[in-house]
């Protein structure tokens, strides 16, 4: 009998095997007209669904070619800028109104908004011994990982988890929208305590506070926050709440919902998608990329020095060697992402107040020079600009929010959009999503074990 291999030795001999036998000849994709990443040849997305929830515009078709235009984002047909102006003019929080709009397809009346806000407030508290048994007993170094495990565990606390009737899915969705800030805040506190040796703070949610206010109170030992901090976080929640059906996590919601599974399974899958560095996880990557740039560029005000370093990143010679400048580029937007424009305005205000103007200028320099460098180095005609993740982390940093919470903050907002897409898939989808993969391996013989080499 051969001696037992340990995992490290086993991987040493099998990693290349896995790579070799999973590498498909790149020319076959064009030969069989495969829409890689569900993208057409011209970069536009393959049309796979209809939605009334979110609309994302980044180009217009001109003589069959996508032509860049400034980005536009609409929730249920209403431009995002008008939604923001509306609640800001009233001096109230906007996330609850936005979640209602996304779920129900209309702006709430005053009465409907009050009812919805108080239902959210009443449902924030976690059930039974959930905090002790699930969050504190099983902390995670990663809050997105903790969030998805918490969501999956909520299944066991739900008296009616499998029922996919609209009324039941709506109930589950509202509970999740209410509880996400609590799950994230407690997951963070557990990490701080068990991994970082800090004191443990479990502040109960307060009924009179908005989603953003509650979140800030729950992550701070003294529960204190300023009105400006709450307003900016609320704005960020509104801007992150929805982005059409095609973004990776909302599409995940459509795909998994179409199999007729439970709400917790669907939302856990979406959280896994959002965590990715090319999707919501980019907001954390931007911060580590900026730290790397700050450490490697001597004079941030010297455009040439910054250019040289960004060129190195694009050539896979610096930072994480992926070749990506995080926070830049988008599958739909070209010239601009309207959310990045609004977040940049907030970043400018905060940078002035908190004396972070030098760093703000560095962000702006990178935003300005990357599109040109990208075009030159990658020989690409794809038009790129800062996306929502570019300035959001910098804004959170100036709000004194710890970095590991940046992607979870995205999830606290996006649960509203995911819930709306799940309902839309259940009500209007009606077919299991099942595209085709062509097998290109050919026929092979089964060889008996004793004859294999
Ligand atoms: C909330 C959000 O999800 S917003 C997006 C957050 N993600 C990021 O900021 C990560 C950086 N950006 C990216 O990776 C991409 O721009 C994406 C994933 C957002 C969109 O990508 P797509 O529009 O689908 O472009 P696609 O993946 O087809 O890229 C085309 C080429 O441009 C490159 N590219 C796209 N964006 C960037 C970038 N920011 N930096 C360097 N190269 C880029 C790709 O690597 C690819 O190169 P290749 O042909 O050599 O493989
Ligand atoms: O639309 C996308 O592909 C990604 C995005 O910006 C989002 O989900 O907010």
CATH of the domain at 354: 1.10.230.10
Cα–Cα distance for residue pair 43/37, rounded to 1 Å = 10
Q: Is the pLDDT of residue 309 over 70?
A: yes
Backbone angles phi, psi at 73, to 5 degrees: -130, 130
Return mean pLDDT, the chain: 97
6: its two tokens: 């340990």
Q: Is the pLDDT of residue 1 over 60?
A: no
Cα–Cα distance for residue pair 165/263, rounded to 1 Å = 11
Q: What is the mean pLDDT of residues 62-73?
A: 93
Cα–Cα distance for residue pair 309/316, rounded to 1 Å = 11
Residue 11 within any structural domain of the chain: no
CB proximity list for 451: less than 8 A, separation 6 or greater? none
The reply to whether 102 and 226 lie within a common domain is yes
Ligand 2 within 6 A of CB of 247 = yes
Atom 9 (ligand 2) nearest CA: 243
Atom 3 (ligand 2) nearest CA: 247
Strand (E) or helix (H) holding 74: strand 65-75
Return the closest-CA partner of residue 105 out of 75, 72, 74.
Answer: 75
Q: What is the mean pLDDT of residues 133-155?
A: 97
Q: How far is CA 355 from CA 64, 181, 222, 296, 363, in A?
A: 48, 29, 24, 22, 15
* Ligand 1 atom, smallest distance to 286 CA: 9
* Ligand 2 atom, smallest distance to 337 CA: 6
The reply to whether 379 and 410 lie within a common domain is no
The reply to whether 115 and 187 lie within a common domain is yes
Cα–Cα distance for residue pair 421/345, rounded to 1 Å = 30
Q: Measure 208 CA to ligand 2 centroid, in angstroms.
A: 32
Residue 19 within any structural domain of the chain: no
The pLDDT value given to residue 5: 86
Quote the ipTM score. Answer: 0.98
Q: Measure 240 CA to ligand 2 centroid, in angstroms.
A: 9
Strand (E) or helix (H) holding 75: strand 65-75
Q: Measure 247 CA to ligand 2 centroid, in angstroms.
A: 5
Q: Are 255 and 230 in contact (CB under 8 A)?
A: no
Residue burial 428-446, b: 16+ Cβ < 10 Å; e: rest: ebeeeeeeeeeeeeeeeee
Mutate which of 329, 381, 392 for ligand 1? The one with the most ligand atoms within 8 Å of its CB, which is: 329
Residues belonging to the chain: 453
The pLDDT value given to residue 20: 96
Cα–Cα distance for residue pair 352/386, rounded to 1 Å = 21
Using only the alpha carbons of the chain, give its radius of gyration: 23
Q: Are 234 and 93 in contact (CB under 8 A)?
A: yes
| DSSP symbols for 19-71 | HHTTPPPHHHHHHTT--GGGB-TTSPBP-----SSEEEEEEEEETTEEEEEEE
Cα–Cα distance for residue pair 47/34, rounded to 1 Å = 14
The reply to whether 209 and 141 lie within a common domain is yes
CB proximity list for 95: less than 8 A, separation 6 or greater? 210, 211, 212, 234, 237, 238, 241, 413, 416
Q: Are 423 and 103 in contact (CB under 8 A)?
A: yes
Mutate which of 57, 71, 330 for ligand 2? The one with the most ligand atoms within 8 Å of its CB, which is: 330
Return the closest-CA partner of residue 80 out of 307, 417, 358, 401.
Answer: 417
Q: Is the pLDDT of residue 65 over 90?
A: no
Atom 16 (ligand 1) nearest CA: 329
Ligand 2 within 6 A of CB of 243 = yes
Q: Are 209 and 225 in contact (CB under 8 A)?
A: no
Cα–Cα distance for residue pair 298/287, rounded to 1 Å = 18
* Ligand 1 atom, smallest distance to 331 CA: 23
Ligand 2 within 6 A of CB of 331 = yes
Q: Are 334 and 59 in contact (CB under 8 A)?
A: yes
Alpha carbons within 13 A on the beta-carbon side of 25: 8
Residues belonging to the active site: 330, 389
Alpha carbons within 13 A on the beta-carbon side of 218: 27
256: its two tokens: 């998994």
Residue 3 within any structural domain of the chain: no
Residue 357 within any structural domain of the chain: yes
The pLDDT value given to residue 81: 98
Atom 4 (ligand 2) nearest CA: 247
Q: What are 79's strand-pairing partners?
A: 74
The reply to whether 360 and 219 lie within a common domain is no
The reply to whether 176 and 202 lie within a common domain is yes
The pLDDT value given to residue 438: 97
The CA-based angle 245-250-253, given to 5 degrees, is 115
Q: What is the mean pLDDT of residues 443-448?
A: 97
For residue 209, give the CATH number of its domain: 1.10.580.10
Ligand 2 within 6 A of CB of 283 = no
The reply to whether 322 and 412 lie within a common domain is no
Q: Is the pLDDT of residue 158 over 70?
A: yes
The reply to whether 296 and 315 lie within a common domain is yes
Q: Is the pLDDT of residue 2 over 80?
A: no
Ligand 2 within 6 A of CB of 241 = no
Residue 450 within any structural domain of the chain: no
Name the residue range of residue 391's domain: 282-398
Cα–Cα distance for residue pair 453/451, rounded to 1 Å = 7
Q: Measure 85 CA to ligand 2 centroid, in angstroms.
A: 22
Ligand 1 within 6 A of CB of 270 = no
Q: Measure 160 CA to ligand 2 centroid, in angstroms.
A: 32
The pLDDT value given to residue 363: 98
Q: What is the mean pLDDT of residues 244-253?
A: 98
Cα–Cα distance for residue pair 116/99, rounded to 1 Å = 9
Q: Measure 384 CA to ligand 1 centroid, in angstroms.
A: 9
Residues 193-224: tens digit of each pLDDT:
999 999 999 999 999 999 999 999 999 999 99
Ligand 1 within 6 A of CB of 331 = yes
pLDDT category, 63, cuts 50, 70, 90?
confident
Ligand 1 within 6 A of CB of 289 = no
The reply to whether 296 and 270 lie within a common domain is no
The pLDDT value given to residue 4: 82
Q: Measure 324 CA to ligand 1 centroid, in angstroms.
A: 7
Residue 333 within any structural domain of the chain: yes
The pLDDT value given to residue 64: 85
The pLDDT > 70 percentage for the chain reads 100
pTM check: above 0.90: yes
Residue burial 107-136, b: 16+ Cβ < 10 Å; e: rest: bbeeeebeebbeebbebbebeeebbeebbb
The reply to whether 129 and 265 lie within a common domain is yes
Minimum-distance ligand to the CA of 280? 1
Residues 377-428: tens digit of each pLDDT:
999 999 999 999 999 999 999 999 999 999 999 999 999 999 999 999 999 9
């Amino acid at each position: 009998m051969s001696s037992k291999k340990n995992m490290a030795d086993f991987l040493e001999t099998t990693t290349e095997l896995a790579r070799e036998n999973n590498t498909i000849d790149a020319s076959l994709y064009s030969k069989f007209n495969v829409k890689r990443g569900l993208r057409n040849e011209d970069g536009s997305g393959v049309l796979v669904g209809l939605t009334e929830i979110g609309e994302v515009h980044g180009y217009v078709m001109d003589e069959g070619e996508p032509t860049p235009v400034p980005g536009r984002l609409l929730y249920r047909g209403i431009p995002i800028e008008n939604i923001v102006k509306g609640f800001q003019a009233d001096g109230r929080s906007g996330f609850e109104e936005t979640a209602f709009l996304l779920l129900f397809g209309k702006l709430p009346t005053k009465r409907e908004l009050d009812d919805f806000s108080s239902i959210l407030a009443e449902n924030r508290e976690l059930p039974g011994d959930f905090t002790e048994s699930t969050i504190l007993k099983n902390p995670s170094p990663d809050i997105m990982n903790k969030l998805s495990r918490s969501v999956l565990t909520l299944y066991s606390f739900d008296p009616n988890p499998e029922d996919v009737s609209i009324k039941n899915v709506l109930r589950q969705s509202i509970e999740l929208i209410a509880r996400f800030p609590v799950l994230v805040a407690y997951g963070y506190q557990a990490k701080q305590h068990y991994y970082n040796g800090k004191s443990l703070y479990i502040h109960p949610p307060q009924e009179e506070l908005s989603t953003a206010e509650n979140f800030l109170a729950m992550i701070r030992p003294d529960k204190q926050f300023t009105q400006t901090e709450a307003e900016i976080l609320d704005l960020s929640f509104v801007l992150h709440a929805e982005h059409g059906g095609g973004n990776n996590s909302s599409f995940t919601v459509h795909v998994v919902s179409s199999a007729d599974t439970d709400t917790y399974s669907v939302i856990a899958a979406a959280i896994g998608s959002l965590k990715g560095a090319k999707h919501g996880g980019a907001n954390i990557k931007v911060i580590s990329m900026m730290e790397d740039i700050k450490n490697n560029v001597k004079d941030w005000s010297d455009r040439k020095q910054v250019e040289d370093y960004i060129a190195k990143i694009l050539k896979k010679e610096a930072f994480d060697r992926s070749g990506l400048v995080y926070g830049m580029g988008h599958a739909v937007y070209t010239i601009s992402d309207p959310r990045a424009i609004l977040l940049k305005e907030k970043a400018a205000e905060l940078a002035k107040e908190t004396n972070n103007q030098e760093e703000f200028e560095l962000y702006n320099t990178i935003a300005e020079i990357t599109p040109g460098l990208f075009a030159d180095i990658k020989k690409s005609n794809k038009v790129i600009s800062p996306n929502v993740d570019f300035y959001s982390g910098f804004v959170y940093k100036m709000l004194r929010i710890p970095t590991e919470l940046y992607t979870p903050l995205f999830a606290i907002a996006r649960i509203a959009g995911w819930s709306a897409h799940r309902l839309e898939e259940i009500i209007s989808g009606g077919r299991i999503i099942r595209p085709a993969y062509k097998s290109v391996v050919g026929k092979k013989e089964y060889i008996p074990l004793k004859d294999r080499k």
